[in-house]
Amino acid sequence: MRRKEFTIEQEEEITEFLSTQTFGYLGTVSPDNKPRVTPLNFVYDEGCFYFHGSLAGEKMKHIKANSTVSFTVAEEFSLIPSYFKDPLLACPATSFFKSVSASGHAEKVIDLKEKARALNRFMEKLQPQGGYLTIDADDPRYTGQLKAVAVVRIIPETLSAKFKFGQNLQQDKHEQLQEQLEQRGEAKDAATVEMMRKYCPFHS
């Protein structure tokens, strides 16, 4: 059952999270009705997810047979060990994370200008330092390449976000956990504490 305290509904929060992520998980159904999940790079632009690949790849075969897809993006923050709360029982062990899940329909992008726009978004995200010519559908150096690559647009019909950062904890437990993470100081602990303070109903 979805915990309401972890649900994020603000579009700008969701868009900001998706802009920081490079990988997502595409769910499709094969022509013989078998599920498939494919990890791939993506961009989120104007309310749609985009990915690219071969015109004749397996993903394209699945989408041609059944355009209904799912798409999930997640980032794990700190792992919370059980002994932070209980010295013996394993039950309290958990992790904090952000996730976005969408379902909808996928369709090939035909318009070369839209292809170019989506692929430029990929370059901006994956190669922010530049060092390339902007992809332009009217540039003959790119026209053939744009025709030869598949760009797919996922139009979400449902989209939900879950950001779990201890919103269900009482204030004293919440503050205690922040202190434990700060003392531990592992790779994502500082970022986790920052998110705990941002998303919880009270502020330390």
Are 83 and 175 in a shared domain?
no
Does position 3 have pLDDT exceeding 70, yes or no? no
Instruction: Kindly report, residue by residue over 117-137, the tens digit of the pLDDT.
Output: 999 999 999 999 999 999 999
Mean pLDDT (whole number) for 143-160: 97
Instruction: Kindly report, residue by residue over 183-195, the tens digit of the pLDDT.
Output: 999 999 999 999 9
Q: Which residues contact 113 (CB under 8 A, 6 or more apart)?
A: 137
Are 148 and 184 in a shared domain?
no
Are 110 and 125 in a shared domain?
yes
What CA–CA distance (Å, rounded) separates 204 from 194? 10
pLDDT value at residue 202: 61
Q: Which residue shows structure tokens 């692929």?
A: 119
pLDDT value at residue 204: 45
The alpha carbon of residue 118 and the mean position of all alpha carbons in its chain are separated, in whole angstroms, by: 17
pLDDT band at 6 (very low <50, low <70, confident <90, very high): low
Mean pLDDT (whole number) for 24-52: 97
Q: Which residue shows structure tokens 């430029």?
A: 120
Are 105 and 66 in a shared domain?
yes
Are 197 and 146 in a shared domain?
no
Tell me if residue 41 falls in helix, strand or coil. strand
Are 186 and 115 in a shared domain?
no
The 8-class DSSP code of residue 4 comes to G
Please report how many Cα atoms fall inside a 13 Å half-sphere around the Cα of residue 88, on the Cβ side: 0
Q: What is the domain extent for residue 114?
A: 4-164
Are 179 and 119 in a shared domain?
no
Are 193 and 135 in a shared domain?
no
The 8-class DSSP code of residue 88 comes to S
Are 22 and 75 in a shared domain?
yes
- The residue type of 90 is A
State percent of the chain over pLDDT 90.
Answer: 90
Are 142 and 198 in a shared domain?
no
Q: What is the chain's mean pLDDT, rounded? A: 94
